[in-house]
Structure 1
């Protein structure tokens, strides 16, 4: 019986990123279901399509400029996944743009 040659470090990192992305997608959906949070149609479709592309192609984006080498999700896909996971946990969505609220003045006394 022949053994498979060990994966190259790059290939092992790519496979690990693929597993991590699939687990994060499943975790976000499962958390939303347990918490009773209804995801929008777009969010459900996003989780399904990204998961399918990661399973089929090993990553969810076609243009190498959109993501880091060896990663399964692009930067924007990762951001959207974090937003969906936060919504599933019931956390308040973070503001992405805009001015910060002014900090309280320091009392000199």
Structure 2
């Protein structure tokens, strides 16, 4: 052990330090552009999260429509209107429902709308898989 037993004056070293020079530090960090910017206020962070959630919802709706077109699956008239209406309401109002009891306060889709979107995507995947599994058609 490097220390002797405690004495009345405190702990003392049995051997001197190995290095004769003190600790050398590097140059201090220079402030970069990212460090000089002020951190976003909580209100700005909430707005950014809402915009990101809206963009993700619109991407999910467009992806459902795009996958249906790529798989050659014909969506019903109601499903097309649903995707168009919901995406337009999200773009216009930031959310697709007005009643806070029907979904999350900060959500863009109600619980039922989210469920219907999942059902549409499952339908597209199932019918697309059936078309690829059918022999004789290409």
What's 2:74 paired with? Answer: 38
Q: 1:19 aligns with which of 55, 66, 79?
A: 55
CA distance in 1, matches of 2:92, 2:103: 17
* Residue number among 123, 130, 138 corresponding to 1:87 in the alignment: 123
Assess if the C-alpha contact under 8 Å between 1:32 and 1:88 holds in 2.
yes
1:48 matched residue in structure 2: 84
Unaligned runs of 5+ in 2: 1-38, 128-138
Question: Over the residues paired in the alignment, what is the CA RMSD in angstroms?
Answer: 1.8
Question: CA–CA distance in 2 between the matches of 1:71 and 1:16?
Answer: 11
Structure 1 residue aligned with 2:13: none
Deviations along 1:6-51, one digit per CA (max 9) or x if unpaired, are: 4523222211110110000000000000000000110000000000
Equivalenced residue count is 88
Quote the Cα distance in structure 1 between the aligned partners of 2:106 and 2:56: 12
Give structure 1 regions of 4+ aligned residues with deviation exceeding 6 angstroms.
none
In the alignment, which residue of structure 1 is the partner of 2:105? Answer: 69
TM-score (norm 1): 0.74
Q: Which runs of 5+ in 1 are unaligned?
A: 92-109
Larger Rg: 2
| Distance (whole Å) between structure 1 residues aligned to residue 100 and residue 49 of structure 2 | 16
The one of 42, 52, 60 aligned to 2:96 = 60
